[in-house]
Amino acid sequence: MTSTEVSNSALWEQELKAAWGNHASNVRFLGQVGLPKPGMRILEIGCGQGPMMQFLRSLGHDVVGIDATIDPLRSWDHRGRVCVASGEQLPFPDDSFDLVLSFDVFEHVPDSDQHLRDVARVLRRPGHYLIGTPNKWTNSLIEPIMWTKRVGFRRALHCFEPPGHCSLHNFWQLRDRFSRNGYQPRFFDIPVVNDYFFAKIRHLFGSVGVAAVKLVNPDRLPLYMRTNFYVAAVLPQ
């Protein structure tokens, strides 16, 4: 993705920030990495309601997607370019893609190693896997509060199978997992504190939490303490 394309995405960022949360940060990540390049075939894992796929498609890229459930796929015109599938068993032949993306998905995949092996299988060398995923350290604080608010303290205490975040990693765990599976990971400095972020903090912690975020600003913390990680992992030749 060229700097011109990234600047032209400003309208997308404004329109989608409230509805799609981290989409603006995800787009910024692609711009910093300098991907995708023209002619690349792209897979998005966990495409959901399609903000990233629609954005890339608007720039003329060849992109297909998968999601674990059918419901989010019913809400937008994906033109038959998506299917329901598991991130651990990708329904594509070997060497099908030049670039794989997943945003807020990695933490939901029970078997991270199998997931990374299957992504490697469908990637052409040198292939790129770009992910955005929450930091285990910060989520260890936020997740109990979030689920207590959603289902009540008693249920949160007994059913703490957080519906989803079964594969959170801290900085070193994430780096080492990629490396063990043959990738060369690089972490990127991507700001995530925006209106969506403040809305979440206000919901969970009230005005005191918002004031604390403004004082500390997680985007200024060292990478290993960030609320979200952005990783560009390369599979060498």
Number of compact structural domains in the chain: 1
pLDDT at residue 76 in the model: 73
Nearest CA-CA partner of 101 in 136, 137, 57, 153: 57
Identify which of 8-22, 154-168, 206-220 has the greatest average pLDDT. Answer: 206-220
Q: Which domain holds residue 9?
A: 3-135+166-193+222-235
At 99, is the pLDDT very low, low, confident or very high (cuts 50, 70, 90)? very high
- Is 140 among the domain residues? no
| pLDDT over threshold 80, residue 219 | yes
- Is 61 among the domain residues? yes
At 13, is the pLDDT very low, low, confident or very high (cuts 50, 70, 90)? very low
CATH code, 174: 3.40.50.150
Distance CA 157, CA 139 (A): 16
